[in-house]
Homo-oligomer: A and B are copies of this chain.
Amino acid sequence: MNHTQASSGTTYASSSTGPGIDAAKVAALAEETLDWRFKALPAAAQGLTVREYLAGRPALADLGTPLLTLDAGALDHNLSTMARWCAEAGVALAPHGKTTMAPALWQAQIEAGSHGITLANLPQLRVARAFGVDRIQLANTLLDPAGLGWLAAELDTDPGFAFTSWVDSADSVRLMDHALRAAGARRPVEVLVELGGPAGRTGARTVAEAVQVAEAVLAAPTLHLAGVGGYEGALAHDAGEQALATVRAYLRRLAELHRALTGRYESPRPLVTAGGSAYFDTVVEELKPLDDALVVIRAGAYLAHDDGFYRGISPLARGDGTPLRPALHGWARVVSHPEPDLSLLDAGKRDLPFDEGMPEPQRVRTASGVRSLAGTEARIRQLNDQHAFLVGAGEQAPVGAVVRLGLSHPCTAFDKWTTIPVLDDADSAEPRVVGLVRTYF
């Protein structure tokens, strides 16, 4: 394609400063009026703006159940821990914004030094653009013709918008090129060739196939070959020796693909990207030596972390670094205690994540105070739509008690809440609400 044409806009890898986000639009969220539309907020908040409600420094105990909260200290700790880790490793972080879909948290990630924001699909991209995020990696292929038309208009009207997406087949290249031409796109769309692995998710299965995809990109006037990437997390699901070896072998093939394309990229500094929240240490070990490329990792779950899947697999838990802290908690009230070893909580599948393990009962608050459930047999046996089955807590979970739950898998926690209160300290006896995070799913 035509390099003169490509130079008409900012490229994804071209800037050394962080991306922009429209701070005024994020700040304006504090003026939103709270009402019955927000299940996290009590009737006492009805009619107040977010700012007015927070000015009263509400106590957690004044909020209803079920509830999902974030912990301010844990968020700060995780932001700075991950920023420091990436700086020391010498890689850029474009956190996966799909985890939270919360512009205020994206802003915090950008302020902590992120290189860009990663997203998964067109609706998410539209949310980010509505808040002025101007350096976005779509870790997916966008084939919707109307969506590509919208994207072309965004790129052509905002020369400062740096965008890249993925492509893994010549067929996709053809469909994208066709839709972008039909839309009259003037600025080429930067794409990364995606490498996958056998039994994995998306991505060309071999380096040779991926090179063919790159050649199709080079031949497409509306696309611009900007790098290579993929998602090692689709190839493994634990931190065992076999899983880590699979991840490492994949990353070596990704490096091989990059070397095969060196000299053919249509951008001055190609991008090489991998790294969800589970294996970013191995990603750095294998990809950092590619010093002609900008290496970008895309962890998203690190910010909220968890008390389940990521607690077990995070490189910062497995290695000797500073561990992340769980920022997310569920809170639910015992509404029934019909058998000595069964209490029913008022939170269910519509409130809490359950796809990577059940919530973990951690502490219980009754009229006589807060009591830890650590070291007890308490566990959530099952979730229904609107109920959780707590066993092993016996008389420690009487009717009316409020149980704090550790969670597994931030991605399926955030998407169940439009507003998430931020607590000053989820471990204190009387947590206070110091923020409200708005999500858009």
Give the B-binding residues of A (Cβ under 8 A): 35-37, 39, 42-44, 62, 64-66, 98, 120-123, 126-127, 129-130, 140-144, 146-147, 149-150, 168-169, 171-172, 175, 196, 198, 200-205, 234, 333, 335-339, 344, 346, 349-350, 354-355, 384-387, 389, 398-400, 411-412, 415-416, 418, 440-441
Cβ A175 vs Cβ B399 within 8 A? yes
5 tightest CB-CB pairs across the interface, nearest first? A39-B123, A202-B336, A36-B126, A43-B150, A120-B386
With both beta carbons as reference points, the residue of chain B lying nearest to A336 in the complex is identified as B202
Secondary structure type dominating chain A contacts = loop
Cβ B62 vs Cβ A146 within 8 A? yes
Docked CA distance A194–B254 (Å): 60
Given contacts A122-B64, A143-B333, A387-B201, contact A338 B168 (CB under 8 A): yes
Docked CA distance A204–B123 (Å): 46
Q: List 25 A-B contacts (CB under 8 A).
A: A36-B440, A42-B146, A42-B150, A62-B146, A64-B123, A66-B121, A98-B386, A120-B386, A140-B335, A143-B400, A144-B333, A168-B338, A169-B336, A169-B337, A171-B399, A175-B400, A196-B338, A201-B336, A202-B336, A202-B344, A202-B387, A203-B336, A204-B338, A350-B411, A416-B441
Within the complex, the shortest CB–CB distance from A166 to chain B, in Å, comes to 9
Residue of A172, A196, A399, A411 most packed against chain B (CB within 10 A): A399
Docked CA distance A384–B337 (Å): 35
With both beta carbons as reference points, the residue of chain B lying nearest to A126 in the complex is identified as B36
Within the complex, the shortest CB–CB distance from A407 to chain B, in Å, comes to 15
* Copies of this chain per assembly: 2
Contact pick for A169, options B130, B140, B333, B338, CB 8 Å = B338
Cβ A43 vs Cβ B336 within 8 A? no
Within the complex, the shortest CB–CB distance from A185 to chain B, in Å, comes to 15
Given contacts A42-B146, A62-B146, A130-B35, contact A168 B120 (CB under 8 A): no
Cβ A202 vs Cβ B168 within 8 A? no
Within the complex, the shortest CB–CB distance from A257 to chain B, in Å, comes to 14
Cβ contacts under 8 Å, A169 to chain B: 336-338, 399
Cβ B172 vs Cβ A336 within 8 A? yes
Cβ A385 vs Cβ B346 within 8 A? no
Given contacts A201-B344, A204-B338, contact A120 B385 (CB under 8 A): yes
Cβ B412 vs Cβ A385 within 8 A? yes
With both beta carbons as reference points, the residue of chain B lying nearest to A147 in the complex is identified as B64
Within the complex, the shortest CB–CB distance from A437 to chain B, in Å, comes to 15
Docked CA distance A400–B387 (Å): 40
Within the complex, the shortest CB–CB distance from A383 to chain B, in Å, comes to 9
